[in-house]
Amino acid sequence: MNIRCTPSHLHGEIDVNANDSSNIFLLCAGALSEQGVTLKEIKADGFAEKFPDTLHYMGANVSRDGDNITVSRNRLFGMSRRIKESEIDFFIYCALGAVCEKGFIQLSGLRSIKKETVDLAVKTFTKLNIACSFDDEDELVIWGGNDITGGTADANGNIYLTLAMTVISCEASIPLDIHNIGEFKKIFPYYIKNFNSLNGKIEAIK
């Protein structure tokens, strides 16, 4: 399956499944929007409950009202992060590095991630005009301040790279067609609906 992501800044509020890890990518997209995104009913044991602290540290506006979390745009700065055997963690910070306005994201501990996964990220981001360097097997630097081109990219069946590219597409100059998204819709059945409910535009294409 292939999808097209038309550049748009998400805004609005929605109820979400508290334990759906894809919520984090909606919050990342919210950090790119002046109007912001509110996710409702993010329970204390939810995967996305603590992540807004990272977005706040990077410069995003973050507020909480009970189990509701709102994230909106401020100036995003880079940071350093050690990855601990989590491919989704890796791609969350890859996406944030690509869209931060100043500085860079420095990811270390990458020996815990398959090298072909890191190589795929570097290849994909380079094609989208996102500056990055992978100088050894343990550290990746993704520079901010990119003029992201959009166009076409192949996810090679990687569902987490697909999530990252939906966030990156918000800042692209033209629509981003993501090919070969694998079992994305099966594993994250509500993500596209939630994204579109927040003023995004993801549609299936041939």
Question: How far is the first Cα of the chain from the last one, in angstroms, to the nearest whole number?
Answer: 7
List the chain domain ranges.
2-200
For residue 177 the two structure tokens come to 């067609």
206 residues of the chain, pLDDT tens digit each:
999 999 999 999 999 887 788 999 999 999 999 999 999 987 655 556 678 889 999 999 999 998 899 999 998 999 999 998 789 999 999 999 999 998 999 999 998 899 999 999 999 999 999 999 997 778 999 999 999 999 999 999 999 999 999 999 999 999 999 999 999 999 999 999 999 999 999 999 98
Which CATH number is correct for 2-200, 1.10.10.10, 2.30.30.90, 3.65.10.10, 3.40.47.10?
3.65.10.10
Tokens of 127: 């094609």
Task: Return d(Cα 51, Cα 174) in angstroms, integer.
Answer: 29
Strand ranges of the sheet holding 77-82, from the earlier edge strand across to the other edge = 77-82, 102-108, 139-143, 132-133
Beta bridge partners of 63: 70
**Residue type present at position 101:** E
Nearest partner of 77 among 172, 173, 143, 148, judged by Cα: 143
Predicted TM-score (pTM) of the model is 0.94
Could you tell me if 136 and 115 are in contact, meaning their C-beta atoms sit under 8 angstroms apart?
no
- Predicted pLDDT of residue 19: 75
For position 46, what pLDDT does the model report? 57
Tokens 């992540």: give the residue: 51
CA-nearest of 128, 136, 192 to 154 is: 128
Q: Residue 66: what pLDDT? A: 85
Are the C-beta atoms of 24 and 47 separated by less than 8 Å?
yes
Q: Decide if 126 contacts 132 (C-beta within 8 A).
A: yes
